[in-house]
A and B are shown apart, each in its own frame.
Chain A
Amino acid sequence: MNASSSEILTQGLTVKLEADLDKNFGETIAREAHGEKLFGCIQCGNCSAACPLSVWMDYTPRKVIAMVRAGFKQEVLSNRTVWLCASCYQCTVECPKGIKITDVMYALKREAIENKIYPKNFPVPILARTFYSEVKRTGRINEIFLLTNYYLRYNIFKMLGYASLGVRLFMKRRLSLFEKGMTNRKEFRSMLNQ
């Protein structure tokens, strides 16, 4: 036995002293996700197996649930894992305990935004926030404005890779600068400010 034994034991796991855990985190998220029975999860891993994105996640969906109910708030919310969820609902329909895992992921994303501990400079929350403010501004999405604002916030140089596709779509009239919008944007905005 050498020093590496402890590494083996903790490989892929997050270890923390109990006193450092956020004990109410599981209940908060369960409530946020409309009373999802997180504590009924049997850790079978069907969600991780069904998820087409779990291979790219730092924590698989099964681990996310285990960490949430154990109270690993900081680790889960600051990680990119929940933002890799594309909301395809495969886990939700596969879960033998009927847990709506996609809605749990949404609750985690919202919690991360609210606590401002989502991973910074990670493109997915940047796109989500850009989309959010674009709709609030005009009521509808214009893809040119959405993507330009997104790349301005994320990394404008990355936009160059899409320039030729953009031009081709523009020529085919599938992108336009002047789309018919809503006529009562003010009323729509005030609805969102209530």
Chain B
Amino acid sequence: MKYLYYPGCSLKSSGKHYEISLLAVLQKLGIEVEELENWNCCGATNYMSINENYALEITARNLGIAEKQGGDEVIVPCAACFMGFLKTQKYMESESGIRDRVNQILNHSGLSYNGKVQIRHPLDLLVNQLGADALTRTVEMPLKDLKVASYYGCQLIRPYATFDDQWNPHTMDDIARAMGATPVDWPLKSRCCSGSMTSTMTDIGLRMNYVILKEAKSRGADVIITACPLCQFNLECFQGKISRKLKDDVRIPVMYFTQLMGLAMGIPAKKLGLKQMLSPSLVLN
């Protein structure tokens, strides 16, 4: 099995610690990945808002590169990229008009996408393929007594993903449990973090993140884990501002699930990007 890896823009900048920790965890598990050559941005929600043809074309270009590079599966860790990839795949599969038009455009660059490469989220790979037992065997430092609130956000599981339960997702909770931690049951697991609204409609964006942080804290969580660079960024980088503005201390460590795994697996902190974080760091006993 040849795994390709599509980082997307966030994992090369503000979400660098996602990439660092993901690659460290995969390496420890003996899974080799090869980065997609000359990939482009997935367009996120913005391309869909401006021009649907372009939105599908630029994502299909990445899928076309993956086919040309000869991978069986492409690993897409960012929730927004992952959703965009699935959407493009679905549209090209179900509407022949779109498929032909997009492939015609890709042909100019010597590319085409025919559905050969499958799209995988790392959570799917880790939980559904490797399995929780295999993950438990890699644990060197069980995260005993640690209460973890898994925050899935929106686009990771809605509307196309099939690897987890759309209504009550559990793959990150499975991972937390496999690492020896205790998942917290809470109702905002897949509530939207407002996306880029923290930079556009600031008051709304901050309020939406406040609700999530507050709920996780009131359920007794020691840490929130996420799988989306935008969720992680919002919850981590704005928690100080939210606490000051709304006069309520909602500060709490917010990490990527791969960072939490790395800690339990005994991977050194510097290989998990922990030093690049702004939120209070997790203190392990």
Residues of A within 8 A of B (CB): 34, 52-53, 56, 84, 86-90, 92-93, 100, 102, 106, 109-110, 113, 123-129, 131-132, 135, 139-143, 147, 150, 161-162, 165, 168-169, 172-176, 179-180, 182-184, 187-188, 190-192, 194
Q: Is the CB of A92 within 8 A of B108?
A: no
Q: How many residues of B contact A (CB 8 A)?
A: 55
C-alpha gap A143/B38 in the complex (Å): 19
Distance of A86 Cα from B159 Cα, bound (Å):
14
Q: Is the Cβ of A87 less than 8 Å from the Cβ of B109? A: no
Cβ distance B117 to chain A, nearest Cβ, rounded Å: 19
Whether A127 and B200, one on each chain, are in contact in the complex, defined by CB atoms closer than 8 angstroms, is yes
- Chain A residues in 8 Å Cβ range of B1: none
Cα distance, A126 to B91, chains bound together (Å): 27
The A contact surface, by secondary structure, is helix
Interface string of B44-88 (1 = CB under 8 A from A): 111111111010011001000000000000000000000000000
Given contacts A93-B166, A100-B159, A187-B109, A174 and B50 within 8 Å (CB-CB): no
| 25 cross-chain CB contacts under 8 A | A52-B208, A84-B204, A86-B194, A86-B197, A90-B154, A93-B159, A93-B166, A93-B167, A109-B50, A127-B196, A132-B46, A132-B47, A142-B9, A143-B13, A147-B199, A165-B237, A165-B241, A173-B276, A174-B276, A180-B12, A182-B39, A188-B61, A190-B108, A191-B106, A191-B108
Q: Check A86–B195 contact: CB distance below 8 A.
A: yes
CB distance from A53 to the nearest CB of B (A): 7
Residues of A within 8 A of B192 (CB): 52-53, 86, 88, 90
CB distance from A194 to the nearest CB of B (A): 5
